[in-house]
């Protein structure tokens, strides 16, 4: 269900509120350009600064906009199991096809605590759950052995792996795929997506595809089909943006890049601020180098 390319979509803002007109155009553009699923209200969507009322409205809007054409996954992770359950149940009730649950941040649970956290959330909903491992933001790495335990729970459907460790990716694939071939191992780092798929993984949850959805989804499909040389060509073509979309904290650079495409305002919510002049120059040069038409 969650193989291929899922875009971790930006949330357009306008004069402090959610710009639903731009959001609808953007979601349609993503679907028309071939992405396999949408991830809404992740970190790229500035979920920490979205209000409770906006969250419900955004989920309802995204589900309606997708109209069954692609699955809609909602980011629901917090560092409280109870609140994560509540947000996951809300997403399920509003029609989401799955939830993306980040490892609890700041309070740094043990591996057993992580297992029990995800197990409790999965038991509280019927829709699929994707584990999100991003130790650079959370301070905690969920180990492959713990993910392997979680893969035995049927509605734990996959992992977005963003530890940045190729050996960890290989260990995940090696441990899990022999027992649970339908468990989706997805890259959380665009610059490792090509490598992950060629190691036996299933795709990417991508920041890059906010800007280059057709090329990103084509690269992943080619890699999954074993057309490695064609996939590698696209990987190298897009590499400047893969790297430079993180010259400042995500989603600052990607929000600017999407704005340069005319798809939303370059507006973020504090504590995030718009890209610096230096960042904008780097992104402009990367867009040009990758052949993106402005």
Q: Known binder of ligand: residue 205?
A: yes
DSSP string, the chain: ---EEEEE----EETTEE-HHHHHHHHHHHHHTT-SEEEESSGGGTGGG--HHHHHHHHHHHHHHHTTSS-EEEE---S-HHHHHHHHHHHHHTT-SEEEEEPPPSS---HHHHHHHHHHHHHH-SS-EEEEE-HHHHS----HHHHHHHTTSTTEEEEEE-S--HHHHHHHHHHHTTT-TTSEEEESSHHHHHHHHHTT--EEEESGGGT-HHHHHHHHHHHHTT-HHHHHHHHHHHHHHHHHTTSSSTTHHHHHHHHHTTSS-S---TT--PPPHHHHHHHHHHHHHTT---
What's the Cα-to-Cα distance from 127 to each of 34, 152, 185, 277, rounded to whole Å?
Answer: 23, 15, 18, 43
What DSSP assignment string belongs to 196-227?
HHHTT--EEEESGGGT-HHHHHHHHHHHHTT-
| Catalytic positions | 132, 160
Distances in whole angstroms, Cα of residue 86 to Cα of each of 83, 91, 93: 5, 9, 10
**Residues contributing to the annotated binding site for pyruvate:** 44, 205
**Residues contributing to the annotated binding site:** 44, 205
């Amino acid at each position: 269900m969650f193989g291929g390319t899922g875009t971790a979509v930006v949330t357009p803002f306008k004069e402090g509120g959610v710009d639903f007109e731009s959001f609808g155009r953007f979601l349609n553009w993503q679907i028309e350009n071939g992405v396999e699923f949408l991830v809404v209200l992740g970190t790229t969507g500035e979920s920490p600064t979205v209000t409770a009322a906006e969250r419900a409205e955004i989920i309802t809007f995204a589900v309606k906009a997708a109209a069954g054409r692609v699955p809609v996954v909602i980011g629901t992770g917090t560092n409280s199991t109870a609140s994560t359950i509540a947000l996951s149940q809300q997403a399920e009730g509003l029609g989401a096809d799955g939830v993306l649950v980040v490892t609890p941040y700041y309070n740094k649970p043990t591996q057993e605590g992580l297992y029990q956290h995800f197990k409790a959330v999965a038991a509280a909903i019927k829709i699929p759950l994707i584990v999100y491992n991003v130790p650079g933001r959370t301070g905690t790495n969920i180990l492959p052995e713990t993910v392997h335990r979680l893969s035995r729970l049927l509605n734990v459907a996959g992992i977005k792996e963003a530890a940045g460790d190729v050996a960890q990716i290989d260990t995940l694939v090696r441990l899990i795929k022999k027992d649970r071939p339908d468990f989706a191992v997805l890259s959380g780092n665009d610059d490792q997506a090509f490598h992950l798929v060629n190691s036996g993984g299933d795709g990417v949850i991508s920041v890059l595809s906010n800007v280059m959805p057709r090329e990103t989804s084509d690269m992943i499909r080619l890699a999954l089909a074993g057309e490695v040389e064609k996939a590698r060509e696209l990987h190298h073509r897009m590499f400047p943006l893969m790297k430079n979309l993180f010259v400042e904290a995500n989603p600052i650079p990607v929000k600017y890049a999407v704005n340069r495409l005319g798809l939303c305002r370059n507006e973020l919510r504090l504590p995030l601020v718009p890209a610096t002049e230096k960042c904008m120059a780097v992104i402009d040069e990367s867009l040009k180098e990758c052949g993106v038409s402005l």
